[in-house]
Amino acid sequence: MGNQVVWQERFNIGVEVIDKEHRKLFGILGRMLSNKQQDEKSKWVYQEGIKYFKEHAMKHFAEEEVYMASISYEGFETHRRVHDNFRKKTLPALERELNQSDYSEEAVSHFLGVCAGWLIGHTLTEDRAITGKSVSRWGKLMPEEEQTAMKEMILHLLNDMFGLKARVISDCYGGEKFGKGIYYRLVYGGNQGEKWEILLVFEEKLLLNTIGSIIDTQSDEVDVMVMNASRYTARQFVERISKHFLNVDVYEVTEESLLSYEQFQKKFEGHHPQFSLLFDTGEGYFAYCVVAPHLLPDENGTSIEAENAMAEVKSYLNKSHANRNQAQKQKILVVDDSELMRLAMKELLEKDYEIATADSGLSAIRSITLDRPDLVLLDYEMPICDGSQVLGMIRSEKDFEDIPVIFLTSRMDKESVHKVISLKLSGYLLKTLSPEKIKKEVDDF
């Protein structure tokens, strides 16, 4: 856990009454973090510190709302609702947890992490928007324009919030694995039963290099403190984006959860999200996806509520770290346009290997770029871009030219077999072989 919240000049929005209270709030959290202790005086110290933080937060909200009204800020009502959610829901829930646990170390860490994350996110999104330093509204846009506007908004926010000069890697990200990932899910529900599901994927080093650096964490892995700060920063990030395509008067967050990669990957099996954007931030990869929940399998992880937040975050991180500390399995990428074939190969091989799948040549190249495999099993007969073309693309990249590639083919005639062998690949497998023989061939290779 870090020992301070680091104030940065970019948090200033240029309004002295607001910037002064921001510095005060960051300072209060910073002192509580740097004085973290567990002794007979600690409960009183935190009671007073939290009381002081709450008083200044309420004062800050009131002064900020007066200022917004004085300049006829068009986002005033939305901004005030964000304040109300924090002062009427988030803070009371955190205080209940503190009292019920008698100010345990975990409850204090949860309080400080949530408040730090909320303060960072709110300062860098909603508060910056007051002076026009954030992204402008979308307006009434056609779907193609919305796609472009979404990308531009996220790029602006990544720059405004974290100083990241990000670039779009793909506007049709298919859920491919990259690095050590954190998979975060928010569901927005409307009063007519409508739902929007937001999926955010963070490479761990991105969180450590942004949120972790602000709270001055010393850990080389995402810990509970960084995770909680990241959750609430992410919520502010999503809120800032969502209000441009969701009516904030009728939509609100109804569910929050952390997903395993397997749960996240199932979101993409047979369905395509409305937005699915992948970014290289320079500090790690980041993906932002919007999907329709009614199209998806019910694999959504445990819902995070106020009562189970600490336990769920800790359990999620423990499982992630434990999985990574196990002996690393070799990675196989299965590329086939047939979903049935992909699932069959995954079921056959996943006990002994880490399996990734791709349904097209372009998806295969993206997957290889993001998470280099030890072996590629490549369907030779795919539409649009066949196996020989995909192999050509792989071999044209110096970084990938030595990756072993084995063709999967259903043809057994001599001409077809000779054609595949002449492409200088590592071998070929007939799809007509029994599963046992396919598994043995892969194991022997």
- Greater pLDDT, 412 or 372: 372
Q: Average pLDDT for residues 241-270, to the nearest whole number?
A: 76
Q: Average pLDDT for residues 44-52, to the nearest whole number?
A: 84
The answer on pLDDT for 329 being more than 50 is: yes
Domain boundary assignment for the chain: 1-133, 135-326, 327-444
pTM above 0.75, yes or no: no
Q: Any idea which of 104-118, 255-269, 271-285, 286-300 has the lowest mean pLDDT?
A: 286-300
Question: Which of the following CATH numbers is that of domain 327-444: 2.40.370.10, 3.40.50.720, 1.20.1250.20, 3.40.50.2300?
Answer: 3.40.50.2300
Q: What is the pLDDT of residues 197-245, one digit of tens each?
A: 899 999 999 999 999 888 876 777 888 888 999 999 999 899 888 776 6
Fold observed for domain 135-326 = Chemotaxis protein chec (3.40.1550)
- CA atoms of 442 and 330, how far apart (whole Å): 11
Please state which CATH number belongs to domain 1-133.
Answer: 1.20.120.50
- CA atoms of 193 and 190, how far apart (whole Å): 5
